Structure 1
């Protein structure tokens, strides 16, 4: 995970090894697993920047509205992957978060994705405006090269 000394984590990074449990009957990472990894990355990034305090102070949480994934190459058990996630935009009640999964060994991008997240009031279940404090801890970032 990276953080500049002067600011928030714009691009959250995590390295991990593909476990056997992620492999499907075709011998590569099951497509559904990427959705779980995307959610896990988003949650960890939010927690790392102090987002749980924002949730608590606003009686709110984030809910995934939609996912889109582009599968470029297969990943296999034992592959070391680097996953990156960042915020592409923040709107009134929604945020677009993007992801890239890269194999460390050959630096090949194996998948790209995005999730449209909605900020939700925990009592009503309805969308609620994203607080002004969020852009300071979760700034918009251009796609990494």
Structure 2
């Protein structure tokens, strides 16, 4: 049996402050969007007690910019949890305008205990909520 990540679709609001001197979204705004999208993914799929007990800190973002984004664009981020290792989680986020890919982001995150602010491993039952179990072929 294999498992597939459950996608999370996060609408992105573009603010006039996101626009740079060239008339399109500043690269720094993509980082803000990825953070919002990943945290939204966590809050949507994790149980309420796990959300209350854990925080996430970004460790690394690798962004490939494909096309510029403009103020009036309707943009969606699709978030996939690729894997969890210990207290680390690895995500892929694709930012699109319709079918056009605007940016692709690989990021790694550290899970923290909300009280101690120390790295924390998630229970396997929590991690499993982010993946769909595919049925074996008959």
Q: TM-score, normalised by structure 1?
A: 0.78
Matches within 5 A, 1:6-85: 10-16=6-12, 18-56=14-52, 59-85=53-79
Aligned equivalents of 1:85 and 1:72: distance in 2? Answer: 17
Contact 2:56 2:109 in 1 (8 A): yes
Which residues of structure 2 form unaligned runs of 5+?
134-138
Contact 2:24 2:69 in 1 (8 A): yes
Structure 1 residue runs of 4 or more that deviate by more than 4 Å after TM superposition: none
Match of 1:100 in 2: 94
Indicate the SS of the match to 1:90: strand
Match of 2:136 in 1: none
Higher relative contact order by CA 8 Å / sep ≥ 6: 1 or 2?
2
Q: What CA RMSD, in Å, does the superposition of the two structures yield over aligned residues?
A: 2.1
Q: TM-score, normalised by structure 2?
A: 0.82
Aligned residues: 129
More strand per residue: 1 or 2? 2
